[in-house]
Amino acid sequence: MQLDWEKLRLFHCVAEAGSFTEAARRLHMSQPALSRQIQGLETQLGAKLFHRHARGLAMTHEGEQLHDATHEMQDRIERTQQGIEFSRERPTGEIRLTTTVSFGSTWLARQLKDFLELYPDINVDLMLSDDDLDLSKREADVAIRFHAPHQSDHIQKALAPVRYWLCASPDYLEKHGTPQVAEDLDNHRLVAYGPLAPNPIRGVNWILDVGHSGPPRVPVLTVNNIFGLLQAAEAGVGIAALPSYLVDFSGKVRPILTHMQGPVFRTFFVYPPELRTSVRVAVLRDFIVKRMTPQALDTARLASHATAA
């Protein structure tokens, strides 16, 4: 049996007022119309809710049971309304933020410490995946994408671009020498992403083609994770193409062939239109925009190094 929410609201008002006359006044409706609505509810329930007496109304046992339920409902609605109004002025609640595994587990995770200290009433659920989670299906609330959003209705805020650089550990370069031109990579051990790089990092395997004609170079190791590529490069396995933020995060690999232009990924803070007025999303967006600069991602320093070279 599906109860009518409007009839329940009217019943609650009558129970609180103690009379049809007073309830009708509060509800700005006629007493006969209100009585008909309550009679309809009684018919639906198959039980009397009120006894009339000289001083007004008295609830039946069934009426008291229903009043307990509507009182709890009213209280929860009021608390929810207060919470919504409070959140408009002070950021609060949970944000499910998704981005790539390497970016989220290194640079972004470190930045979120300051964000959570600034906004202690916000909880962040960091959801890392190299495949795009669908914001339209509420798989996440907001995203930091390494490409423009595919959904035209999604709101996007451009962030600093991320450039990839060829890198190797000092131990590897001491043992195998430092390439001077792209063609030298033919004689080096290369580490590359697996053959099916997902959309956010498509083009990451440029190390296999740059300065080379014919079939792509064959890597000695493939890893289907950017952070895994960093670990291999740090261990001296070979030369890898790594994003600027990860090079700076590591401190254990050195950019080489910096005169060459690697792929640049445009980045965006993305969220669906229904979160346009969310205060917590707005403060996270503004925080990320302020923090995610070329200097913070170390693109500027590496680019200046490239120019000097």
Per-residue pLDDT of the chain (309 residues; tens, 9 = 90+): 677 888 889 999 998 888 898 889 988 999 999 999 999 999 988 899 998 876 678 889 998 999 989 988 888 887 776 666 555 566 788 999 999 888 999 999 999 999 999 999 899 999 998 888 889 888 999 999 988 878 788 999 999 888 889 999 999 999 999 999 999 999 999 999 887 776 656 677 888 888 888 888 899 999 988 889 999 999 999 999 998 888 888 889 999 998 887 778 889 999 999 898 888 999 999 999 999 888 777 654 555 544 444
Q: How many C-beta neighbours within 10 Å does residue 72 have?
A: 10
CA dihedral over 157, 134, 114, 249, signed as positive or negative: negative
Which uninterrupted H or E stretch holds 83?
helix 61-89
Helices 5-17 and 31-45 sit at what angle, rounded to 10 degrees? 120
- The pLDDT assigned to 308 comes to 44
Task: Give one word for 42, left, alpha or beta, with left for phi > 0 and alpha for psi -120 to 50.
Answer: alpha
**Domain edges within the chain:** 5-87, 93-155+269-293, 161-264
What pLDDT shows up at residue 240? 94
Question: What 8-state DSSP symbol labels residue 107?
Answer: I
C-alpha separations of 6 from 27, 44, 47, 283 in Å: 12, 13, 18, 37
Q: Model pTM greater than 0.75?
A: no
Q: Rounded to 10 degrees, what is the CA torsion of 236, 238, 244, 248?
A: 10
Residue 146's pLDDT is 87
Residue range 161-264 forms a domain whose CATH class is alpha beta
Residue 153, CB-side half-sphere exposure with 13 Å CA sphere: 7
Three-class DSSP labels, the chain = CCCCHHHHHHHHHHHHHCCHHHHHHHHCCCHHHHHHHHHHHHHHHCCCCEEEECCEEEECHHHHHHHHHHHHHHHHHHHHHHHHHHHHHCCCEEEEEEECHHHHHHHHHHHHHHHHHHCCCEEEEEEECCCCCCCCCCCCCEEEECCCCCCCCCEEEEEEEEEEEEEECHHHHHHHCCCCCHHHHHHCCEEEECCCCCHHHCCHHHHHCCCCCCCCCCCCEEECCHHHHHHHHHCCCCEEEEEHHHHHHHCCCEEECCCCCCCEEEEEEEECHHHCCCHHHHHHHHHHHHHCCHHHHCHHHHHHHHHHC
Yes or no: is domain 93-155+269-293 CATH 3.40.190.10? yes
Q: Do domains 5-87 and 161-264 have the same CATH topology?
A: no
Range 5-87 has CATH code 1.10.10.10: yes
- Residues 154, 275: contact at Cβ < 8 Å? no
pLDDT score, position 48: 92
In sequence order, the 6+-apart residues with CB closer than 8 A to the CB of 235 are: 169
> Of 88, 103, 219, which is closest to residue 161 (Cα–Cα)?
103
Position 89 scores a pLDDT of: 61
